[in-house]
Amino acid sequence: MDRIRIVGGATLEGVIPISGAKNAALPLMIASLLTEETLVLENVPRLADVIQLKRILSNHGVDMGVRGRRHGETDTDGETLTLNAKTIVDTTAPYELVSTMRASFWVLGPLVARMGHAKVSLPGGCAIGTRPVDFLLQVLEALGAQIEIDSGYVIATARHGLKGAEINFPKVSVGATHTALMAASLADGVSVISNAAREPEVTDLADLLVKMGAKIEGIGTSTLTVTGVAQLHGATHRVIADRIETGTFALAVAMAGGDVTLQGARTDLLESALDSMRQAGAEIEALPNGIRVSRNGNGLQAVDVTTEAFPGFPTDLQAQFMALATRAQGTSRIRETIFENRFMHVQELARLGARIRLDGDTAFVDGVERLKGAPVMATDLRASVSLVIAALAAEGETVVNRIYHLDRGFERLEHKLSRCGAQIERISG
């Protein structure tokens, strides 16, 4: 099993290209199930989760191709995928394919919307909370599907098609909003989705669906009105920049010090987190095609953050920000309101010398003068990279084990950091 070895103390200088967003690419790929025509997706990141979703879609009969490299493209440019679901040969998504990635469960909505029937295994993924699928199933029931759960599978049936409906989420849910948008696009009539997620990845999906012929009003707001159409057509769409990768590398620069341009990053996707980084001592400048992040000489200051749905502070940056807080002067208060089990990185940060106290959904991080390298173990995707960030500023060597989590969400992490001066390498086996 691969590991990552880091020798701390080096500052970061240079340019890091930001990949396409994994959390946008996955639902965009799944949207290919809604049409018989070809969908072309540009800037798709090369990640383990993308590879797994390719397997799942292929099992349903989706034909896929990858465009070859073009003049001027580099090894950090994303893939261009073509997906064609003209003939869906199987409406079952088996356990062995779905169990490793929660987002794969989202195939349920498009399959039942287009085919009238779907059987999908209950999902797996990072162990950071229960993340129930109840909201997704309630969406399909509201649209007229009959839902049955049998032997670990969800069976959804709509023999006469889905019907437009009022959908009011009691809690903001990105996955359920994705499902509602895709399913309602092919439903008969008008659907109004209230308390919808406003995350940029949801907006990106809505923008693609409109290109495919869907009728959606209120994009970017918490109320979405979808007028169903009989069929959708093909389209070409570029995946938005990954705001979580952007925030992660920005925090790495803030932690290690230096001056780095995050090429292709967008400040409008991450304003709350960037504001918190400024308060902590990082300098952040918006550029025409990216963001410049620097910290040269000034110390870090404690900052309080609370994770919230967009446009609030992202839960997917909570672990990374906690790593930064371990070296800040004073006590930072970090409250996690999205997932109930997302502090598993705390004990691993403690191995590096961090001082963190937990009280329910809140972590109190007392900044320390120095961290010291040690062997640590990744517990989930975002926790993995928080250990890398901490290790960049730790004295001596840190080895991060079980980094397969990292490969699910970060494209060539060690390569991007090493190009900017970090002493980091992957150890195979």
Asked if 60 contacts 31 with a C-beta cutoff of 8 angstroms, the reply is no
Q: How far apart are CA 113 and CA 161, in angstroms?
A: 7
| DSSP letters for 126-150 | -SSS---SHHHHHHHHHTT-EEEEE
Report the predicted TM-score, pTM, of the whole model to 2 decimal places.
0.94
pLDDT of residue 74: 67
pLDDT of residue 71: 65
Collapsing DSSP states into helix, strand and coil, what is residue 333?
strand
Residue 408 DSSP symbol: H
Residues belonging to the active site: 126
**Is 22 annotated for ligand binding?**
yes
Q: What are the structural domains of the chain?
A: 3-18+241-427 (3.65.10.10), 22-238 (3.65.10.10)
Of 88, 115, 89, 118, residue with least CA distance to 105: 118
pLDDT of residue 156: 97
**Is 139 annotated for ligand binding?**
no
pLDDT of residue 128: 35
Residue with tokens 């995928």: 81
Which parts of the chain sit beneath pLDDT 70? Answer: 71-76, 124-132
pLDDT of residue 44: 97
For 131-148, the pLDDT digits (tens) are: 468 899 999 999 999 999
**Is 119 annotated for ligand binding?**
no
**Is 341 annotated for ligand binding?**
no
**Is 366 annotated for ligand binding?**
no
